[in-house]
Structure 1
Amino acid sequence: MKTFFKPARRQCLVTAMALALPGTVLAHDFKAGDIVIDHPYATPSLPGARTGAVYFRGLRNTGRLPDRLVGARTAAAGSVEVHRMVMDGDVMRMGALDTLAIPAGGALPFRHGGQYHLMLLDLKSPLVAGDRFKLTLRFERGGEQEVTVWVQQPRERDGSHRH
């Protein structure tokens, strides 16, 4: 016996299913082996800027063995580097890392205003709030994983951080 729903009922059914399964339907996370990549996002770029930055709500290793982020690429930029920021007295210093270790059972602070981020160099076009682009992350153990990066205005913690 076939059951057909009228368009209005079909839309209600789809909406109800989406609300009932938010972790599945509305999630914005990805896995590369034991690495969980939660909500990749970029901040809007400044007018005329040739660089941008990508962050994650979370980057954690759920496995029993360490892994390493060994590279990334995107068509949105000429190249991607893993960067670490540290304070040296009153001066913020930033530098590229060849690889980034993710300890077994651990997580890295990859949030806006935090210690780590991915630097997008030679942007092909400005990063505009509301846009999305693909980024491929490469892990030593977890392999490659393509993620969707959402460009969004971050919530400032204290209003002092500007990248």
Structure 2
Amino acid sequence: MTRLLLSACLLTLAACGEAAVPTGPATVAVADALCRPTPNGRDITGCYLTLTASQADRLVSVGSPVAGLAQIHEMSTENGMMKMGELKDGLVLPPGEAVSLAPGGNHIMLMQLKQPLATGDQVPLTLTFEHARPVDIRATVGQPPAAS
């Protein structure tokens, strides 16, 4: 009887000592997807959205059938000059933290657009992550709200 009680106590302690590990597949929620309309004669535009990952993840690429090329970009200031460039290693998504891609900051660039984008159009985007499954969304074309 003593051995049985001791075994039960040890099993209970072992179960309590396990570290909390995320269960289930990684997911990324997407909100507020918006792409700017293109001015006449331009074949490039920026898109913005908010990503929230269930587990630590990374946005590694973006694709769209309306563009020949799509990249994840960052904005930075160097020597008083604003610079924009591709995030070659993707965009880090901390678990449970909303990460906004917004005007003046990180954003998606669509280049080599096959036709102009007008207000009200819908732009299909495929977001590819390091861990989560790809997410297909439709971004509305319109002007982003003015920065406060």
What band does the TM-score fall into relative to the shorter chain?
Answer: 0.7 to 0.9
Q: Gapped runs of 5+ residues in structure 2?
A: 1-24
How much is the aligned-residue C-alpha RMSD, in angstroms?
1.6
Q: Identify the residue that residue 95 of structure 1 maps to in structure 2.
A: 85
Report the Cα distance in structure 2 between the residues aligned to 1:74 and 1:53, rounded to whole angstroms: 13
Q: What is the CA–CA distance in structure 2 between the aligned matches of 1:132 and 1:118, rounded to whole Å?
A: 15
Identity level (%): 31
Task: Indicate the structure whose relative CO is greater, using CA pairs within 8 Å and at least 6 residues apart.
Answer: 2
Residues matched between the structures, number: 123
| TM-score (norm. length: structure 1) | 0.70
CA apart distance, 1:33: 3.9
- 1:157 equivalent to 2:144? Answer no
Specify every segment of 5 or more residues in structure 1 that has no aligned partner in the other structure, as ranges: 1-31, 159-163
Q: Give the deviation of 1:59 after TM superposition.
A: 1.3
Q: 1:60 Cα deviation (Å)?
A: 1.5
Within the candidate set 64, 73, 78, 1:74 is matched to: 64
- 1:68-93 CA distances to partner (integer Å, 9 max, x unpaired)? 11111111100100000012243111
Larger Rg: 2
Q: Deviations over 1:122-157 (max 9, x none)?
A: 011111111112111111111111100100122222
The corresponding residue for 1:141 is 131
Aligned equivalent of 1:51, options 35, 38, 44: 44
Distance, in Å, in 1 between the alignment partners of 2:113 and 2:47 is 12
8 Å CA contact retained: 2:37, 2:117: yes
Q: State the distance in 2 between where 1:155 and 1:148 align.
A: 18
Instruction: State how far apart, in whole Å, the 2-side matches of 1:140 and 1:149 are.
Output: 22
Paired AA for residue 137 in structure 2: V
